[in-house]
């Protein structure tokens, strides 16, 4: 079992700075949770509190019905994979992987069997005699993972474990960690500031800002139902476009432009008439108009990026520049561009509270 429960967890550092503020979350046994957020949002502080490396200032941390706030790290049955791998440079891969078992005074034969099993799972069987200095970044990463796997802990904690790898290796190791986690079914809390990593790996992601949970949900929920402007802007690349304006009747008016809203959107929005709103629209919702559609806006092309299967057009409309993802292999864009607003996934946020209205 490895069920983790955070009850009103807060962390204030000795200088009074509150790095985590009233954090509540229930993590199910075997779940892969990704904590994601910008630098300084409190991800590592949370991870260190779970590992027992940082004191919890307030609240209860419960592992399988037992409050572990005061439980020393070695008694928590939790394994940590750090960003810098934290391997012992003067010890062979075999000894690094078997270290935690040796500390527990396991028999040599048991250590041998378990190290062989873990190194088989991670594909490092041929590296066991080497020293960490003789390994590539990716190989070190696997050794660090094997060292966690060998213990069969209740919980894996991973703090940006891929950040020292190059882009290609990061992608393949990402898939490998997910496969490993599914196979071992060990509850995992993974920290990253990389939203792609979070989206692709998580069963559930927890988006943090300034030590406060913004939203927790499946990658699909977070992407399609972002609950506030921060989450909407943080998840998705290029990020969601935000357009400031207001509702007048069944139109959304911004600058000298107006969009006609379908009735199912206009009706519930009526209550916000006259209020300052922000319309959110993802780049992939745009298309180029042939001129016959409604809600066509003419803008000036400022820049374009070719991504192979599509173009990202940066189109100036009044004060704003909108990122529009257009599926096209041909570069036929320049000067004035007529873009069309898809209404399937548009969002309205309150400018003042930044909360999602609909």
Q: Would you say how long the chain is, in residues?
A: 358
Report if residue 161 touches ligand ATP, rule: CB under 6 A: no
- Binding test (CB under 6 A) with ligand ATP, winner from 6, 27, 43, 231: 43
- Whether residue 240 contacts residue 282, with contact meaning beta carbons closer than 8 Å, is answered with yes
Distances (CA, A) of 294 to 74, 176, 240, 340: 64, 47, 22, 8
Report if residue 42 touches ligand ATP, rule: CB under 6 A: yes
- Binding test (CB under 6 A) with ligand ATP, winner from 193, 204, 282, 340: 193
**In what side-by-side order are the strands of the sheet with 66-67?**
18-27, 4-12, 58-63, 66-67
Report if residue 19 touches ligand ATP, rule: CB under 6 A: yes
Report if residue 151 touches ligand ATP, rule: CB under 6 A: no
Closest approach of ligand ATP to the CB of residue 162, in Å: 13
Report if residue 13 touches ligand ATP, rule: CB under 6 A: yes
Residue position matching structure tokens 């180029």? 288
How many chain residues are in contact with ligand ATP, going by CB under 6 A? 13
Residue 237, number of CB atoms within 10 A of its CB: 12
Alpha-carbon distance of 177 to 166, in angstroms, equals 16
Window of 36-44, 62-70, 168-176, 245-253 that interacts with ligand ATP by CB under 6 A? 36-44
Window of 38-46, 222-230, 275-283, 327-335 that interacts with ligand ATP by CB under 6 A? 38-46
Report if residue 195 touches ligand ATP, rule: CB under 6 A: no
Closest approach of ligand ATP to the CB of residue 191, in Å: 6
Window of 15-23, 64-72, 136-144, 195-203 that interacts with ligand ATP by CB under 6 A? 15-23
Closest approach of ligand ATP to the CB of residue 189, in Å: 13
The whole-angstrom distance between residue 46's C-alpha and the CA centroid of its chain comes to: 15
Tell me the DSSP string of 152-178: --SEEEEESTTTTS-HHHHHHHHHHHH
- Binding test (CB under 6 A) with ligand ATP, winner from 41, 235, 243, 317: 41
Which residues, 6 or more positions from 303, have their beta carbon under 8 angstroms from its beta carbon? Answer: 313, 314
Residue 95, number of CB atoms within 10 A of its CB: 16
Closest approach of ligand ATP to the CB of residue 22, in Å: 15
Q: Which residues bind ligand ATP (CB under 6 A)?
A: 13, 15, 17, 19, 37, 39-45, 193
């Amino acid at each position: 079992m490895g069920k983790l429960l955070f009850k009103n967890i807060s962390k204030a550092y000795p200088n009074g700075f509150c790095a985590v503020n009233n954090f509540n979350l229930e993590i199910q046994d075997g779940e892969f949770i990704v904590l994601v957020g910008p630098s300084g949002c409190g991800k590592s502080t949370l991870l260190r509190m779970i590992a027992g490396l940082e004191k919890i200032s307030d609240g209860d941390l419960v592992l399988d019905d037992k409050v572990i706030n005061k439980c020393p790290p070695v008694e928590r049955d939790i394994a940590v994979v750090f960003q810098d791998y934290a391997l012992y440079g003067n010890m062979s891969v075999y000894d690094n992987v078997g270290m935690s078992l040796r500390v527990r005074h396991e028999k040599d034969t048991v250590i041998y069997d378990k190290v062989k099993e873990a190194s088989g799972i991670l594909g490092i069987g041929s590296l066991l005699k080497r020293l960490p200095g003789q390994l590539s970044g990716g190989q070190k990463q696997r050794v660090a993972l094997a060292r966690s796997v060998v213990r069969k802990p209740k919980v894996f904690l991973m703090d940006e474990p891929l950040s020292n790898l190059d882009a290609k290796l990061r992608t393949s190791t990402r898939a490998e960690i997910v496969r490993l986690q599914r196979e071992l079914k060990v509850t995992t809390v993974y920290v990253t500031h990389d939203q792609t990593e979070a989206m692709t790996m998580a069963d559930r992601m927890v988006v943090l800002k300034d030590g406060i949970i913004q939203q927790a949900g499946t990658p699909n929920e977070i992407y399609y139902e972002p609950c506030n402007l921060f989450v909407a802007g943080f998840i998705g690349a290029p990020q969601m476009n935000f357009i400031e304006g207001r509702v007048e009747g069944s139109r959304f008016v911004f600058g000298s432009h107006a969009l006609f809203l379908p009735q199912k959107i206009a009706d519930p929005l009526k209550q916000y008439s006259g209020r300052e709103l922000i319309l959110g629209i993802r780049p992939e919702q745009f298309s180029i108009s042939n001129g016959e559609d409604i809600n066509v806006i003419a803008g000036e092309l400022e820049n374009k990026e070719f991504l192979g299967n599509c173009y990202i057009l940066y189109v100036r409309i009044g004060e704003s520049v909108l990122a529009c993802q257009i599926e096209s292999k041909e570069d036929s864009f320049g000067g004035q561009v007529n873009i069309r607003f898809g209404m399937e996934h548009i969002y309205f946020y309150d400018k003042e509270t930044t909360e999602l209205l609909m």
